Chains A and B, each alone.
Chain A
Amino acid sequence: MNYLKMAYRNLGRHRRRSMLSALALGLGTALLMFIAAFFQGEMRGSMETTLRLNTGHLQVSNTEYDPDKLSVAWEYLIEKPDQAAAKIETLEPVRAATPRLVASGIVSVRDESAGVQIMGIDPASPANEPYQTLVDGEFLTADDRSGVLIGYPLAESLNLKVGDSLQLLVNTSDGDVDEQQFTVRGIFTTGTSAYDKGVVFLPLAKAQSFSGAENRASYIFVLLHDREQAEAVASAIQGQNLRIRTWTEMNELLVLVNDFSNAYLTFINLIVLGVTATVIVNTLLMSVFERTREIGILTAIGMKGRQVIALFLAEAALLGMAGIAFGAAVGWAVSAYLGRVGVYFGDLGISGEMLLEDRIYPYLTLESAINLIVTAFVITLLASLYPARMASRMEPVEALHSAQ
């Protein structure tokens, strides 16, 4: 006869009450597990999307280049970008390095227009793979001189189809504007509407001639096999007048939010678990009061205070284990299912430094799951110390009297 066996039978006396308390803890755990998965999925997705579409892992530019200006004036641009990119690509941790030219411009169709980034890319580079998911039409080719690739939301709002013409206005290197007619070759989607509605792709060579940048580019976009290598690769790249920025520098806000989210999750965990712990404490308190006489008998036949505590803690532990196991199973199942199909949010209207996909895929790490399970269990036991100690402090005489 051990404590757990006794505890199990004691819980069985009020089966419904025990189940309801375990259920409260279970639902709390499930909810927290899902929140953790959702948060982590969101952060992870946002980070991946931002790196993949916006910043890459490294950007190599002229020291004078200001990413907020989108100016293609020559003094801001990097010379002979093809050579530099090819050289960077020979480094072992580098997956892809490709020059990009970014200029500000306006798309207009009939009497409608929209401000966009005009981006010249090397269609052959694997770094541009995210833009190759096409809703319609074809991807760009390097020697195309009149074709553009536009995003699905932009095509929708301007009512453009593959083969339609559009007017593109660009701010050129000499501070002037130029305007040309282009044909929509393809309509792409990256799954991030906020990004897709604001960018028009051209082959790099065409973008360079159109904007007057000639043989220059805004920066070299670098993707690594492992983003943790960014610092190492950055120090390996050398060259005069080059500025190398890593993904952590370019996404300070995102890195900050990511770090903060863990603290935020811990805070939510403590609040929710604190509430569920009171349910368990309440259940145990009821049982302490109901079993006053029994505790008196046990102490009369020689049970010591700490053994009484152990008995009640065993009950809390069983309730806790049952509730947490149930909650963890439900939370994991829901997270895993939604992690596969995603939760659709649409365009949240967040653009700029932080990009979010239209669908958020909850993602549960083993670490956060274990963290939650252990925290929930420890909080349950700590909270149960109060009723357990109360039981252990009953004087046998008073306990026995209460029955008569």
Chain B
Amino acid sequence: MEVAKLTDVTRIYKIGEVETRALNGISLTIQDGEFTSLVGPSGSGKTTLLQLIGCLDQPTSGRVVIVGKETTNLSRNQRADLRKGTIGFVFQFFALIPTLTAYENVEMPLLLNGKSASERKQRVMELLEAVDMTDRAHHRPDQLSGGQQQRVAVARALAPAPKMILADEPTANLDTENGEQVMEIMKRLNKETDTTFVFATHDPRVIKYATRVVTLRDGVIEKD
């Protein structure tokens, strides 16, 4: 099954009079259960591509279909709805909500999906255990190391059981050991839950885990 299908997608950023062509006619299909790396130097369009797959942004032209649903004409709220159950995000910076504990951060997407209290509790504990964070469940982000925060972020991304997780440079701010640990966890979860993972990265440590590597350069796919 195709979780994401991009057809001839172009994204142009316009800042003042200057147009930047971040993506230039890209077509890409991502299948269910992939563990794919988008690689390329900075400025090659990795992050933009990831944001388009994640419905965080819309293409200037071309079509983006996510789990069979055309996203081009969706409103902001409709896109939020689509993201909510389908796509999880892991960001480069440790994007946890600072006022919430690890537990509450993981719980948040479940709340937004309207899950019951007992369902939430069970799911959160299950996920915290999967990322080995059970003993730190009630710590706030500022009491956690970078690696620990990123593991919580992975758990949060997985919480609503999405089809696909998009990770933008997930190891960029981690040391080797923590980076490896996060990748191991993601790899294991990919196998166990069959969730699709797509990374934007230029970290060789991440690339070596990937089952598919898509190389971008100047807004086009150079190698797949």
Residue pair A297, B91 in contact (C-beta under 8 Å)? yes
With A1-B104, A1-B107, A301-B83 as known contacts, state yes or no: A396 contacts B56, CB within 8 Å. yes
Interface residues of B in 201-220 (CB under 8 A from A): none
Residues from chain A with Cβ under 8 Å of B100 in the complex: 1, 6, 9
B147 at interface, CB cutoff 8 A: no
A307 at interface, CB cutoff 8 A: yes
On chain B, the number of residues with a Cβ less than 8 Å from chain A's Cβ atoms is 32
- A352 → B minimal CB distance (Å): 64
Interface residues of A in 303-325 (CB under 8 A from B): 303-305, 307
Residue pair A302, B109 in contact (C-beta under 8 Å)? yes
In the docked arrangement, what's the CA distance between A404 and B88, Å? 20
**In the complex, which of the residues A6, A9, A303 contacts B80, with contact meaning CB atoms closer than 8 Å?**
A303
With A305-B77, A404-B92 as known contacts, state yes or no: A300 contacts B83, CB within 8 Å. yes
B111 at interface, CB cutoff 8 A: yes
A271 at interface, CB cutoff 8 A: no
In the docked arrangement, what's the CA distance between A176 and B51, Å? 104
- A207 → B minimal CB distance (Å): 81
Residues from chain B with Cβ under 8 Å of A12 in the complex: 99
Residue pair A293, B95 in contact (C-beta under 8 Å)? yes
Residues from chain A with Cβ under 8 Å of B76 in the complex: 305, 395
In the docked arrangement, what's the CA distance between A306 and B136, Å? 32
Residues from chain A with Cβ under 8 Å of B84 in the complex: 301-302
A13 at interface, CB cutoff 8 A: yes
Q: Which residue of A lies closest to B57 (CB)?
A: A397
Residue pair A300, B77 in contact (C-beta under 8 Å)? no
- A19 → B minimal CB distance (Å): 17
A46 at interface, CB cutoff 8 A: no
With A1-B107, A302-B80 as known contacts, state yes or no: A297 contacts B99, CB within 8 Å. no
On chain A, the number of residues with a Cβ less than 8 Å from chain B's Cβ atoms is 24
In the docked arrangement, what's the CA distance between A249 and B83, Å? 72
- B151 → A minimal CB distance (Å): 16
In the docked arrangement, what's the CA distance between A397 and B54, Å? 10
Residues from chain A with Cβ under 8 Å of B108 in the complex: 1, 298, 301
Q: Which residue of B lies closest to A306 (CB)?
A: B77
Residue pair B91, A400 in contact (C-beta under 8 Å)? yes
Interface residues of A in 70-106 (CB under 8 A from B): none
Residue pair A304, B81 in contact (C-beta under 8 Å)? yes
In the docked arrangement, what's the CA distance between A236 and B83, Å? 79
Residue pair A300, B112 in contact (C-beta under 8 Å)? no
B98 at interface, CB cutoff 8 A: yes
Residue pair A301, B98 in contact (C-beta under 8 Å)? no
Residue pair A301, B93 in contact (C-beta under 8 Å)? no
Residues from chain A with Cβ under 8 Å of B107 in the complex: 1
In the docked arrangement, what's the CA distance between A304 and B89, Å? 16
A294 at interface, CB cutoff 8 A: yes
Residue pair B54, A300 in contact (C-beta under 8 Å)? yes
- A385 → B minimal CB distance (Å): 18
Residue pair A6, B99 in contact (C-beta under 8 Å)? yes
In the docked arrangement, what's the CA distance between A6 and B56, Å? 24
- Interface 1/0 per residue, B110-126 and A, CB below 8 Å: 01110000000000000
Residue pair A9, B112 in contact (C-beta under 8 Å)? no
In the docked arrangement, what's the CA distance between A307 and B111, Å? 11
A142 at interface, CB cutoff 8 A: no
B144 at interface, CB cutoff 8 A: no
In the docked arrangement, what's the CA distance between A291 and B202, Å? 28
B97 at interface, CB cutoff 8 A: yes
B46 at interface, CB cutoff 8 A: no
Residues from chain A with Cβ under 8 Å of B96 in the complex: 297
In the docked arrangement, what's the CA distance between A302 and B93, Å? 19
Residues from chain B with Cβ under 8 Å of A298 in the complex: 97, 108
B63 at interface, CB cutoff 8 A: no
Q: Which residue of B lies closest to A11 (CB)?
A: B99
Known: A298-B108, A397-B57. 16 other contacts (CB 8 A): A1-B104, A1-B108, A6-B100, A299-B80, A300-B83, A301-B89, A301-B157, A302-B85, A302-B113, A302-B160, A304-B80, A305-B77, A307-B112, A395-B56, A400-B91, A400-B95
Chain A contacts to B: CB under 8 angstroms: 1, 6, 9-10, 12-13, 293-294, 297-305, 307, 395-397, 400, 403-404
Chain B contacts to A: CB under 8 angstroms: 51, 54, 56-57, 76-77, 80-81, 83-85, 88-89, 91-93, 95-100, 104, 107-109, 111-113, 156-157, 160
Pairs A–B under 8 Å by Cβ, sample size 6:
A1-B104, A10-B99, A293-B93, A299-B80, A302-B109, A396-B56
Enumerate the 3 nearest inter-chain pairs by beta-carbon distance, A residue then B residue, closest first.
A302-B84, A9-B99, A397-B57
